Structure 1
């Protein structure tokens, strides 16, 4: 269920021998581990934080917690509507999903109704496995697409840690560039398909993570690029400014006989609103650090660097290096032999 600002999950659990046992649970996507509402019918007795006990089911004859006949009828009506929604959802899935055998009959392509980051339908393949009877795989699509966007998940980084945690949460393995799940019984197929699809969607969210994470990922990309090109760097070095305050610089390249020390601010969103803080820091420190050159590396992959941003730094003789041109300006930071 989705509103303008929130996405909600409606959970229904009717497993177990007790009938008509049912658990109804409502969660919000950004805090999935914290249910907003949970109702148990024919469930286990419950202890409140104050030590009082509530018997379940929550019928009007219970001494500790009472529902009127009208309240109970409203609850039943709500559950019936939820079950109807569940049936509509699965009917929609059945109509939208497509199975296409390969010409050689050695795998089956599954076209799901779910969309990837390009609004293309997510496709999976199923084939005979070695260690398990069957394997469902993304056929290498997920990592191939991230690789084309220069998102490297092979090196140790916060981004890779997040990626590996996603795989672990969904029980998905990475093998030879593919994301896959093995299973032995066809009854396990729906669950395996759902887990792999949801895993892929969450991996694609690596491109749409929170602002702080995106900034951190861009810093890591810049740092890794320098290291890959044999440029020794320091990270998050604080330099004292004229104001008496210390300012942190994302990347610092040490001084040599032929080059001065270089202190770099890495800006993920080079817009007008992001001028004052980094520019002030550079101006404040520059007078106290005469043997240091200052520069900005700006991320212009998703959006162009604003004209105001360029003009402001140019007025104070601070060079801006666009990330898309990194191969052109790399030599500026390389250590002279």
Structure 2
């Protein structure tokens, strides 16, 4: 248990700080606003990408899709044409499992993130494992997607271990309400997954600057591997990112949504995937509970007719901006509980 976390937290304190627990999230937000018929729009990454393309939202380029074992050999012969690398991932994977990042080539052999060269037969095996359902939810047969490798902005070089950092934004009924950047570490094996040891750093919605963060549920201010500060980093293309996140409401038809975006050095913010069940550690990273912000959105919507994504993003950036004198200091970690009602 973290040193700053008391062994018992009074429910009144949780309510005062606006902390949303898992029961409240599941009942008041996910069950109330996320209709089951729309889950395939976010659980199937291939469907998510097609919907985003149809809506004109920016996503990493899709190079190909492998649906059968017979297609593996044909697709593999095309891979050397992607000289800047590529990514192979399952359409129904979770927690980053099954994602293989190829950074380039060493002669006729693909080179993984970290520099290790692979045999082409290893790519065949990996795609075959994806098709068999090794990485999919419930072990169901899956399809393999081959995508553009994102070349992330160099501003994150000193605070990311090998992998690509991403930005998770929680969107409530079309309005961005909270965001954090997830930074890969050695413990997380280069994946931007908090459960595996990545760092989550809160972001001021008004400025797009990081404000300190959390790792293993403990507040932190530095990246554990590089010991570089994670406070005060400016996210490139922040206004565009906020508008992208807001636009995913129409795309998904879900009222409580996690939008994961990566920053490509050339193309700017790109939608990576959507999540119908975004976790709650984002509250610790931001030092603030979600409930007060969600209440503000509901009050705003009472007096408003339908707003476009850009309008919703601007409103959220203005209303949820942190005061100037609190930037870029690390927020105090809020009181929290594992599963408050």
TM-score when normalising by structure 1: 0.24
By relative contact order (CA 8 Å, sep 6+), the higher-ranking structure is 2
Greater C-alpha radius of gyration: 1
